[in-house]
Structure 1
Amino acid sequence: MTPDLLIDRARHRRISRVWTTKMACPLRGKSFRCFIVTRRSFMASHATGDGGIPPRDAAKRGLTRIMTLGGAYGTRNYTVKDLLDQKGQKVLVETATFSPEEAAAAEKAGIDTMKVRFDPSHPDLAVAIRKAAPNTFMAFSVPLVAAASEVDAVRLAYDAMALGADAIMCQWSPRFVSAAAEGGVPVQGHAGLVPRKSTWTGGLKAVGKTLEEAMWVYREIKALEDAGAYAVEVEVIPEKLLAEISKRTTLLTSSIGAGSGGDIQFLFAEDILGNNPPPYPRHSKQYRQLYKMKQEMQAERVAGFREFIDDVQQGRFPEPAHVVDAPDDLIETFTHTVDRVE
């Protein structure tokens, strides 16, 4: 018996799991292939626990009761509608976390939205991060080269949503974005400097400093809007340009290195926390120096091992406080007994 996936391509909707097996026909004595279809259930999602309906007092805690596209109940600080309602009203704060510890800290600090990298071949980290921040609106960033067609894009988007994502973030073309959006997936696109496509814009540098480039960025964003995206990450373009574009699109604009003119201010957790050694991106700010702290901790580890080695070699360890004493008569009796036996 082999599993396969049945997809309603007309609506790009994952509908069931199909098992096939060969069975004997009682009338003709011939074998035939039988399709056994079972409805997939995601009610007990990896992301949201046992799938129980959230308590009705969620609103008192500033949360909204939701059901994920994968079919699991949960609570979130924002829905897509909530986020869109904030456009032009409030600047939201977003980060991308790379560990469950970072995600839990970001949620506790009150971050509005998060992104997490989603590797479809190894989804465990994304699932763990989702579980660490169960109440925060979270977009899974899907790999650019993992989808080679609209069907691939929808399948990949659904895989992310089934694990508890509230949206996906991608660098796809409007055609792929449209396919996922038509399937009901909230999609955030990417415009301006898209590092993985930077060969088209002259490398890892600012985009939009000429009229031609500015118009290109604007058209890219409008194309994503027409494709059905709800948001766009806009990277390293002039601040005033983003402010003007943001006024002219219904998309939520998430600014990273593009100044304060967007609807969302976005920085990676590794930059906020100073996880890596310098140099840092020009547009980033380090609010903590965890790399320095980790280096100091490593130096302390080395020093501790060296002191241990030295103490042993110099006879300073173990000390009397570290050993177990035995009565003198026990040792005397023990040695006498052992010597007699031998």
Structure 2
Amino acid sequence: MKRIYDWDAKFSLRNYTVADLQALKGKRKLTQTTANSAEEAAAASDAGIDLIMGNAQNTRTVRDAAPNLFFTAAIGLPDFPTEADVLKAAFQAMKDGADSVYTARGPHIVELLAKEQIPVMCHLGLVPRRSGWNGGLRAVGRTHDEALELWNAFRRMEDAGAFSVEAEVIPERLFSEISRRTSLVTMSLGSGNGGDVIYLFQNDICGEQASSPKHARAFGNLHALNEQVRSERRAALSAFKEAVRGGSYPAKAETARIPDEELADFLEAISPKEAAE
């Protein structure tokens, strides 16, 4: 564990620092997943995941549950539209315990953050929220011209001051060539094994939905368990309703009792009042 002070001047321990990730580039394959709740963060920590990433608003919750994991706080694309909004959100996330921030915005926003010495993860390749510009959800970099444009985008992000990049759905061979030539620590999300870090959303890893994107693999089946819980919940509620209507609930064993003599004394005490009324 590395000893650090966070942006709130609190002594902390981290499994990795920015400097560690840069030094490990091309030398050791790391893992990254998402964490937006205490349970997700604790699960990632218990499983030995190297890095976690989640919404900036959840930073404090995640940090409390996984105090030692390197955490990247995502500054949501539509939630912080102005430069002032982005900068304020980034400072708050760092104060709450983030180790870096993520933005899907362009080099000008990366530069804005980097000038404040905030470690920045950018996003290249398929950026789902901007997929309309690329004709939909598809791999980016399949042609010479598109591959060259992507390479130039990597260079621009380097120049802007990013230290890492989420590289999403880039052809594997192309990405491997780019990854070994860029100074950015590369997080491969659906871009093959050539990245420095292999990244996959926790809901995809755990199989929380009926189907996953092509690049994802479910290593668990929480969807089936959740469906079982969903079915069991409805069955229990229906049984409760029928038990009430049929008179079997509540049963005597499920109700509080009063001794006969105490009830008799109570009834005698209120009888004059009833008579007067």
TM-score by length of 2: 0.89
Structure 2 residue aligned with 1:280, among 212, 221, 241? 212
Aligned residues: 273
Q: 1:315 to 1:235 in 2, by over 3 A?
A: same
Relative CO higher for 1 or 2, CA cutoff 8 Å, sep ≥ 6? Answer: 2
Aligned-pair CA distance for 1:297:
1.2
**Structure 1 position 116 matched with structure 2 position 54:** yes
What is the aligned partner in structure 2 of residue 313 from structure 1?
Answer: 245
What is the aligned partner in structure 2 of residue 296 from structure 1?
Answer: 228
Q: 1:325 to 1:191 in 2, by over 3 A?
A: closer
Aligned-pair CA distance for 1:199:
2.3
What is the aligned partner in structure 1 of residue 40 from structure 2?
Answer: 102
Q: 1:314 to 1:85 in 2, by over 3 A?
A: same
User: Structure 2: how far apart are the matches of 1:180 and 1:336?
Assistant: 78
Structure 2 residue aligned with 1:234, among 167, 172, 187? 167
% identical aligned pairs: 38
User: Structure 2: how far apart are the matches of 1:219 and 1:127?
Assistant: 36
- Alignment RMSD (CA, Å): 2.2
Structure index of larger Rg: 1
Structure 2 residue aligned with 1:266, among 180, 199, 202? 199
- Consecutive unaligned residues of structure 2, counting only runs of 5 or more, are none
User: Structure 2: how far apart are the matches of 1:318 and 1:180?
Assistant: 61
Structure 1 residue aligned with 2:128, among 195, 204, 215? 195
Larger relative strand fraction: 1
Larger relative helix fraction: 2
Per-residue CA distance 1:122-179 (angstroms, 9 max, x = gap): x3x3321222111110011112352534x65544432321221100111122222123
User: Structure 1: how far apart are the matches of 2:100 and 2:173?
Assistant: 28
Q: 1:325 to 1:127 in 2, by over 3 A?
A: closer
What is the aligned partner in structure 1 of residue 20 from structure 2?
Answer: 82
User: Structure 2: how far apart are the matches of 1:82 and 1:270?
Assistant: 27
User: Would the aligned equivalents of 1:169 and 1:187 in 2 still touch at CA under 8 Å?
Assistant: yes
Structure 2 residue aligned with 1:175, among 108, 112, 127? 108
User: Structure 2: how far apart are the matches of 1:273 and 1:85?
Assistant: 30
User: Would the aligned equivalents of 2:59 and 2:93 in 1 still touch at CA under 8 Å?
Assistant: no
The 5 Å alignment of 1:56-71 reads 63-71=1-9
Q: 1:318 to 1:162 in 2, by over 3 A?
A: closer
Q: 1:315 to 1:197 in 2, by over 3 A?
A: closer
- The one-letter amino acid paired with 1:285 is R
User: Structure 1: how far apart are the matches of 2:216 and 2:33?
Assistant: 12
Q: 1:207 to 1:312 in 2, by over 3 A?
A: same
User: Structure 2: how far apart are the matches of 1:68 and 1:226?
Assistant: 26
Q: 1:331 to 1:196 in 2, by over 3 A?
A: closer
